[in-house]
Chain A
């Protein structure tokens, strides 16, 4: 089987759209609501989850034939927790500012359902290379939804993007107001609902 065979390509591309972990598998909703009030944290969270889901997929895939069936969930959790702790230590040592910004969210990656979902559904039954692609695909799929939701929430809720004011002062003087509801968690759920609606309307097979 070639490195970029049809199957491997699909492992990478389907989670981006038609099998998106957030909008189709409906996993990882909790963090999608929590970190999307601003674009910056959403981006970093997306990147961190992508790295961790890809690495843990590879590790579990390498171990898959040795893991005793009865304790497989525990082994998966130990691997994920160890990787998250290491990533968080590395962030603290080399990019302290980013780690301060992410604060508790890095630790929360351990509880992200996408990780356990991919480990159980894919890495336990596939080779490391395919698992890496699957992990990257799911990570990017998750990150893309986070970025879309955060884009609208920060733009409409705070009038800024990545912390920079994009709606000019003159518009506010004309009576424009930021939508306070946008920065509250319920609006993330409503936006997410809209994205799922659009996606399903375009693709009736889902």
Chain B
């Protein structure tokens, strides 16, 4: 058979494309349930991580149970600090909300009970050097002192920007205060030698300046949406 004729080439290309399309659609739909569950569980783990939860030796269902026991409510707030819904915050995609005007955004807030104390967990999302970065910040009941943080990223450089996910960076946030006097100053990520008197700060990652600046902006942008709630 002449495999170089136009008809053969066109038919061959069509068949290859159709077969591959069916194959991909089949694999994707067959696995979508499992993937969806993994994504959901991963989000629960991220929220619990901001409370410094330890998952070592825990099965997936134990982690899910821990989440149910810890998170008492996943509220949806608006920018004025009013509660729109008592639950459903977990399903809100922060990425989509950030594309809207501030007044229209649905702001998820996780009210947690951890070691007998109330903690507020706020989601954060921003831009690193190569792609999106996101995280969760847990505040004590005074809405001023940071209890813990969790950061993750899509494509920051391993060994440099990606170090924001390491304990060495995250542990700096504990016990920092987001206020100076009555003003919300949040927390700055600064280079050594550029420490500021006006705000609490943590040290940036050496060699990961762009990602560190992204974390700095993400904390300020993310938390300022909740300013009215934090000042209640």
Contact = CB atoms under 8 A, between A and B. Distances in A.
Contacts of A89: 27-28, 31, 35
Contacts of A67: 3, 12
Counting chain B CB atoms within 10 Å of each CB, which of A35, A65, A70 scores highest? A70
Given A67-B3, A71-B12, A96-B42, A86 B158 contact: no
Interface residues of B, number: 31
Given A37-B158, A38-B158, A78-B17, A180 B35 contact: no
Nearest to A69: B4
A68 B4 contact: yes
Contacts of A75: 12-13, 16
Nearest to A107: B155
B13 A74 contact: yes
B20 A183 contact: no
Contact of A93 (B17, B23, B38, B152): B38
B28 A38 contact: no
B68 interface: no
Which interface class (under 10, 10 to 19, 20 to 34, 35 or more) fits A? 20 to 34
Contacts of B155: 103-104
A40 B206 CA distance: 21
Interface string A58-87: 000000011111110011001100100110
Interface in B1-23: 3-4, 8-9, 12-13, 16-17, 20, 23
Counting chain B CB atoms within 10 Å of each CB, which of A41, A70, A93, A94 scores highest? A93
A68 B31 contact: no
B159 A38 contact: yes
Contacts of B8: 68
A81 to B, nearest CB: 8
8 contacts: A37-B157, A38-B158, A66-B12, A67-B12, A78-B17, A86-B27, A180-B206, A183-B207
